[in-house]
Each structure stands twice: as structure tokens, then as C-alpha cells.
């Protein structure tokens, strides 16, 4: 049974399904283009999910026939050009609480249910998820160079790490839309399923992850994230810091007991 969670805007839907939080971008008439209210609500939900011990996995998806078409350029242009003000050049801005930064720092696993196109900012949001399951109509659309911009929210950092420099260059410089099968071949998605099985599959994976010891899952994700920029020796040293508390946890005792008693474990996150 799912329970609705208040987000403060109808442009973002959040629902709890056991230990899984499902977040849905909800502007289907604009292919879920990112607006200001949606950005703020998404950040707040992700931050709260990472703090809430009852949430073990997040599923991120879009309403309607698209995942996310990127930042709402219509709204942005209206805000910039209403008074025909001249372009003022680059100015610093604070991204500390922006969804891409929050997603990157999250210890809770995030599963992307890729329904339709993920373009621009939407592509970056999808790539920042830990696991991506695509419907057959799922698309990754790195079309930023065709709009005169660049991946503004991490895509140019993520893609070389996901597919290597040469493939990332091909994807970003050509600006060509990638089908779900192409994404699967490149390793950008974990699985492609029929569209009508997308959410069922994403929730299946999310609940499977949520059944594991949450402290161990979160520590594993953190070590993977930090390990990207660490030497092997540094990572091994850091592992000891996380292993000792895990050995002392109730979940470790439950994991050992359930193994010896040949029964499914019942983890509490303590």
C-alpha cells in the first residue's frame, strides 16, 4: 500500500511504498521540464529521504510519456528577456542544494525508471541515479550542443566515467538521441523492459535492495562514490572505518543469525 507524501507543489509527486520512496516529476504537458518549484521540491524530498531511516531506496521517474525534457527554457527565456535586458555574462551561483549535488551526495540508492526521453538537465538527473531501468521508449538525449549550451549539471563529469573518454566525446559532441537499446549496449542503462513493465520492474529492484541491510548498502554506496577519487590504499583504509560500526550493528548479528538458521533476514537499520 502506497502513502502520499506532501511535496508542497503539484509538479512533484512523492509516495511511500514500504521502505521505497517513489518520486515522480509531474509536468507531463511539458514533458516534465524542470521549473523552479519542481527543483526546490525535488531537492527537499531527496534531502529528507537521505535523512529518513525508514526510506532505504528512492525511485525517480516522470509522469506521462517523458522522463524529463530538461530545464524549462521557455520560462527561463521569459524571465531573462521580458525587459530585453542585455546579457550580463557569467555570474557565480550556489548549487549546494541543487538536485544534482544532492543526488551525487546521497547514501541511499536511487533507481531511475526511464520512461521516454531524458534530455539536457533530465539526462544529468538520470545519469546521477545509481541504477537505470529503461522502458522501450526510453531515450537519453545529449542535445546540449544543439542548443548552444553544455551539460550544466554533471553530464560532462559522469559520461567519461561511465563509458570512457572516446565514447563520451562521441555522445556529447554529436548531440544525437540514443535509443534504449543503444543505451543498454553502452552500459548507460542496466535493463530495457516493455514500457508497461517499467515501474513494476523498477519497484521490484528497489524492494529487493530495500530488503538488504540498509546500513551496509549505504556504506557500500558511499565507499564506491568516494573511491572514484581515491587511491586503492586510501579506500582500503577507509573501509576499516566503516566496517567496525557495521560489525557492532544489530543488522550484522541478524545477518549471521539468519544465515545460520537458514531463514530470510529481518533488518532494522540499527
CATH class of the domain comprising 214-260: mainly alpha
Domain residue extents for the chain = 2-210, 214-260
Are the C-beta atoms of 166 and 143 separated by less than 8 Å? no
pLDDT at residue 183 in the model: 97
Lowest-confidence range among 9-23, 101-115, 137-151, 195-209?
A: 137-151
Are the C-beta atoms of 151 and 61 separated by less than 8 Å? no
Task: Check pLDDT > 90 for residue 190.
Answer: yes
pLDDT at residue 165 in the model: 95
Is the model more confident about 97 or about 213? 213
pLDDT band at 90 (very low <50, low <70, confident <90, very high): very low
Residue in the block written with cell 577519487 = 229
Is the model more confident about 241 or about 197? 197
pLDDT at residue 89 in the model: 54
Task: Check pLDDT > 70 for residue 35.
Answer: yes
Task: Check pLDDT > 60 for residue 253.
Answer: yes
pLDDT band at 91 (very low <50, low <70, confident <90, very high): very low
Task: Check pLDDT > 80 for residue 10.
Answer: yes
- The mean predicted confidence, pLDDT, of the chain is 90
pLDDT at residue 87 in the model: 52
Lowest-confidence range among 10-19, 122-131, 199-208, 238-247?
A: 238-247
The pTM score is: 0.90
Lowest-confidence range among 33-42, 141-150, 183-192?
A: 141-150
Output the CA angle 131-210-182, nearest 5 degrees. Answer: 15
pLDDT at residue 228 in the model: 87
CB-CB neighbours of 61 under 10 Å: 24
Cα distance between residue 193 and residue 202, in whole Å: 10
Is the model more confident about 145 or about 16? 16
Cα distance between residue 195 and residue 265, in whole Å: 33
Task: Check pLDDT > 60 for residue 83.
Answer: no
pLDDT at residue 82 in the model: 44
Is the model more confident about 89 or about 178? 178
List, in sequence order, every residue forming a beta bridge with 112; answer none if it has no partner: 60, 132
Please report how the helices 165-174 and 155-163 are oriented relative to each other, as an axis angle in degrees rounded to 10. 130
DSSP-derived 3-state class of residue 122: helix
Instruction: Give the residue-averaged pLDDT of 171-195.
Output: 96
What are the grid coordinates assigned to 28, written together? 507531463
Cα distance between residue 96 and residue 207, in whole Å: 30
pLDDT at residue 94 in the model: 57
pLDDT band at 73 (very low <50, low <70, confident <90, very high): low
pLDDT at residue 229 in the model: 87
Q: What is the CATH number of domain 2-210?
A: 3.90.226.10
Amino acid at each position: 500500500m502506497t502513502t502520499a507524501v506532501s511535496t508542497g507543489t503539484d509538479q512533484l509527486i512523492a509516495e511511500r511504498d514500504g521502505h521505497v520512496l517513489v518520486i515522480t516529476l509531474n509536468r507531463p504537458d511539458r514533458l516534465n521540464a524542470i521549473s523552479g518549484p519542481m527543483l526546490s521540491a525535488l531537492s527537499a524530498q531527496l534531502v529528507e529521504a537521505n535523512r529518513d531511516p525508514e526510506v532505504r531506496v528512492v525511485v525517480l521517474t516522470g509522469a506521462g510519456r517523458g522522463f524529463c525534457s530538461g530545464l524549462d527554457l521557455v520560462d527561463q527565456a521569459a524571465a531573462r528577456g521580458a525587459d530585453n535586458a542585455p546579457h550580463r555574462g557569467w555570474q557565480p551561483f550556489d548549487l549546494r542544494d541543487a538536485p544534482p549535488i544532492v543526488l551525487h551526495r546521497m547514501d541511499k540508492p536511487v533507481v531511475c525508471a526511464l520512461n521516454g526521453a531524458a534530455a539536457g538537465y533530465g539526462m544529468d538527473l538520470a545519469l546521477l541515479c545509481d541504477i537505470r531501468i529503461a522502458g522501450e521508449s526510453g531515450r537519453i538525449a545529449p542535445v546540449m550542443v544543439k542548443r548552444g549550451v553544455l551539460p550544466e549539471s554533471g553530464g560532462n563529469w559522469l559520461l567519461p566515467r561511465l563509458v570512457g573518454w572516446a565514447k563520451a566525446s562521441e555522445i556529447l559532441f554529436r548531440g544525437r538521441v540514443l535509443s534504449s537499446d543503444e543505451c543498454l549496449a553502452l552500459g548507460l542503462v542496466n535493463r530495457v523492459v516493455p514500457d508497461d513493465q517499467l515501474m513494476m520492474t523498477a519497484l521490484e529492484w528497489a524492494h529487493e535492495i530495500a530488503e538488504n541491510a540498509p546500513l551496509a548498502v549505504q556504506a557500500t554506496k558511499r565507499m564506491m562514490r568516494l573511491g572514484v577519487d581515491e587511491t586503492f590504499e586510501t579506500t582500503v583504509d577507509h573501509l576499516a572505518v566503516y566496517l567496525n560500526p557495521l560489525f557492532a550493528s544489530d543488522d550484522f548479528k541478524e545477518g549471521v543469525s539468519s544465515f545460520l538458521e537458514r531463514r530470510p533476514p529481518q533488518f532494522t537499520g540499527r
